[in-house]
Amino acid sequence: MEKLLIIKIGGNIVDDDAALATFLSDFANLDGHKILVHGGGKLATRMAAQLNIPQQMVDGRRITDAETLKIVTMVYAGFINKNIVAALQARNCNALGLCGADGDVILAHKRNHPVMDYGFVGDVDTINAKLITTLLEQHISLVFAPITHDQQGQLLNTNADTIAQEIAKGMSPYYETTLVYSFEKAGVLLDAEDDSTVIPSINPEHYQQLKQQQKIFAGMIPKLDNAFAAIRSGVSKVIIGKAEQLPALVEGKTGTSIIA
């Protein structure tokens, strides 16, 4: 089986031009088949403010109304995605950007929640492994924006961590897949403010224990839930760590390794 690297970069890296440039150089230098999934960063929030579009928050979560969907589609699938692709092309990495509607590559449905309406938010149903394989075989590196579609003409805002996990899960039958969540922290930390408290590896029992002791800070829980879901679904390796250490991270020499 050939290897496939799937790397998610967090919004804080996308927002920082210098950090992003370094990351993209490191990504371009990685050997073999590779996929980049990017989040949104603060540009969409800034754009909404400039356009006087109020952001609705319910229980700390942003609601994607029609105007917000328009902005995230422009910013994520347009500005951020195409600038990353152009920057990778300049680094001799033949990148191609996709959102979920392109080639029906990520099919989703509008979230159906019993109590609250998140608006145009998508939960992933399937990924198109055939199209992804065809493009990877052309030595093309794929760059995914966190926008999906429902096959009924509706674009949907979708969590980038989840997209990375779903692609990793969907590609695992065909490739030995490593999923890397890279962001501004050194990995899963016992003290969110101290990179030296990184946990080198974590298994489900250890994770439950740390959660019960409230030693996992809230923002990490969805990421870790995604990471364990990926491992359970056949992904070979999941690693969480610092974007600026990408070469060491993909080899599991730094960051936190998720263990089945």
Q: Footprint of a second copy on this chain (CB under 8 A)?
A: 50-51, 70, 73-79, 81-83, 85-87, 89-90, 94-99, 101-104, 131, 134, 138, 140, 147, 149, 151-155
Residue labelled with tokens 């159906």 = 112
Question: Which residues, other chains included, contact 21 with Cβ-Cβ below 8 Å and sequence gap of 6+?
Answer: 87
Are the C-beta atoms of 142 and 95 separated by less than 8 Å? yes
Q: Which is nearer to a second copy, 83 or 236 (CB)?
A: 83
CA distances from 137 to 4, 23, 90, 133 (A): 11, 24, 21, 6
**Helix%, strand%, coil% for the chain, nearest 5:** 40, 25, 35
Q: Are the beta carbons of 36 and 208 closer than 8 angstroms?
A: no
Specify the DSSP element, H or E, that contains 130: helix 129-137
The answer to whether the CB of 147 falls within 8 A of the CB of 73 is yes
How many CA atoms lie less than 13 Å away from 105 in the CB half-sphere?
23
CB of 26 to a second copy, least distance (A): 16
Nearer to a second copy, 33 or 149 (CB): 149
Q: Which is nearer to a second copy, 130 or 232 (CB)?
A: 130
Token pair listed for 240: 């969480």
Backbone angles phi, psi at 166, to 5 degrees: -65, -40
Closest separation in Å from C-beta 155 to a second copy: 5
Nearer to a second copy, 82 or 113 (CB): 82
Q: Which is nearer to a second copy, 58 or 90 (CB)?
A: 90
CB of 152 to a second copy, least distance (A): 5
Q: How far is the CB of 2 from a second copy (least distance, A)?
A: 19
**Residue carrying structure tokens 């290897």:** 3
Q: Which is nearer to a second copy, 107 or 227 (CB)?
A: 107
Number of C-beta neighbours around residue 7 at 10 A: 25
**Closer CB to a second copy, residue 50 or residue 212?**
50
Provide, rounded to whole angstroms, the least separation between the CB of residue 137 and a second copy: 9
Query: CB atoms < 10 A from the CB of 39, how many?
Result: 22
Across the strands, what pairs with 122? 110
Q: How far is the CB of 82 from a second copy (least distance, A)?
A: 5
State in angstroms the smallest separation of the CB of 77 from a second copy: 5
